[in-house]
Structure 1
Amino acid sequence: MGAKREIDDLLNEFLQLETDEQREQFRGKIAQTLADKTAEEKREFGEALADNAKETIRQSVALIGEYHFKQALNDIIPAVTWSYIAEEYFQKSRSWLSQRMNGYHVNSKAAAFTPEEINTLADGLLDLSERIKKSAILLKGHRF
């Protein structure tokens, strides 16, 4: 069995554990698994484990970024016409924007904004906010 597959199987087994006793028994299984390996197998095992850890960190960073992105927009999502934003600032459809905002899968891959698209969205929201502010100031100065 390949080291990556073995790591994945052990991780899946670990995730099924429910009690401290089961986890303690599992630690013994891991110790025995490592004791039975040659130096080369231990090296491969360690590399596969490190690769899994790096991928988990990468996924975690992506989830944190997605969370922060959604939190930044949380207050304005119900107030903004997203189809207008999509068309005015991206020359795209509302569905295109929605796919990226919600991470929907397109062609078997999660849709996401590029850094340039995030800047475009931020610039568009700033432009729109300035236009709203200008309208509010004009209304305050208008006498009926």
Structure 2
Amino acid sequence: MNKELINKIFPTQEMQEEFLTYQKLNEADRDKFMAEKQEQFSEEPADIHSQRVEDAIKAGENVVEELQELLILKQLQNVSPFISLSEISKTYFGKSRSWLSQRLHENKVRGRRVNLKPEEVNILKSALLDISDKLRNTAMQLDFS
């Protein structure tokens, strides 16, 4: 896993370092590492333990968000050769040709990574359904009899 993705998923430096350490271990050493961490966590004060739980929840949310973004891009690969993403960006979002591509590929814009917000995913879904309807209606009208 690359450093940028690790930083994106794990909200604290400590979690990032622990993940990198865990990743380098073999299976037996991983079990030992996890047992040591469980013991360490059980001995922590409640406030530190509570913060760890919040950080772990945040890491889980970050993973889900990352997977959703990858899933959108993967799903679009099936149709992207047949549609113009730049035209979708202009027509349905009122944005520049590169705007949608930047978000789908999580490019950096003005120094920060950009992606689609949930409401923008819904707009993209509506756009694809609208295009689907237009294609279906056009196909049904074709008749050379």
* TM-score by shorter chain over 0.5: yes
Is the Cα contact below 8 Å between 2:89 and 2:95 reproduced in 1?
yes
The answer for the alignment partner of 1:117 in structure 2 is 120
Q: Distance in 1 between matches of 2:117 and 2:104?
A: 11
1:16 aligns with 2:24: yes
| Partner residue of 1:142 out of 119, 141, 144 | 144
Q: Distance in 2 between matches of 1:130 and 1:142?
A: 21
* Structure 1 Cα separation of the partners of residues 136 and 30 of structure 2: 61
How far has the Cα of 1:59 moved from its partner?
1.1
TM-score by length of 2: 0.70
- Closer/same/farther in 2, CA of residues 129 and 24 from structure 1, 3 Å limit: closer
Aligned residues: 134
Shift of the 81–52 alpha-carbon distance from structure 1 to 2, 3 Å rule, reads same
Among residues 89, 92, 95, which one is paired with 1:92 in the alignment? 95
Q: Which amino acid aligns with 2:144?
A: H
Distance 2:115 2:79 in 1: 20
**Counterpart-to-counterpart distance in 2, 1:8 and 1:89:** 39
Taking a change above 3 Å as real, the CA distance of residues 7 and 136 of structure 1, as seen in their structure-2 partners, is closer
Shift of 1:99: 1.0
Q: Is residue 2:69 matched to residue 1:66?
A: yes
For residue 5 of structure 2, what is the aligned residue in structure 1? none
TM-score by length of 1: 0.71
1:14-53 equivalence runs, <5 A: 14-21=22-29, 23-24=31-32, 27-28=35-36, 31=39, 42-53=45-56
Q: Which moved more, 1:19-28 or 1:115-124?
A: 19-28
Structure number with greater CO (CA < 8 Å, separation at least 6) is: 2
- Structure 2 unaligned regions, length at least 5: 1-11
Partner of 2:129: 126
In the alignment, the residues of structure 2 paired with residue 113 and residue 59 of structure 1 have an alpha-carbon distance, to the nearest angstrom, of 14
**Cα 1:48–1:80, aligned 2, differ >3 Å: closer, same or farther?**
same
Q: CA deviation at 1:53?
A: 0.8
Please report how far the alpha carbon of residue 102 of structure 1 lies from its aligned counterpart in structure 2 after TM superposition.
Answer: 1.4
Q: Paired residue for 2:4?
A: none
**Quick one: percent identity of the two aligned structures?**
25
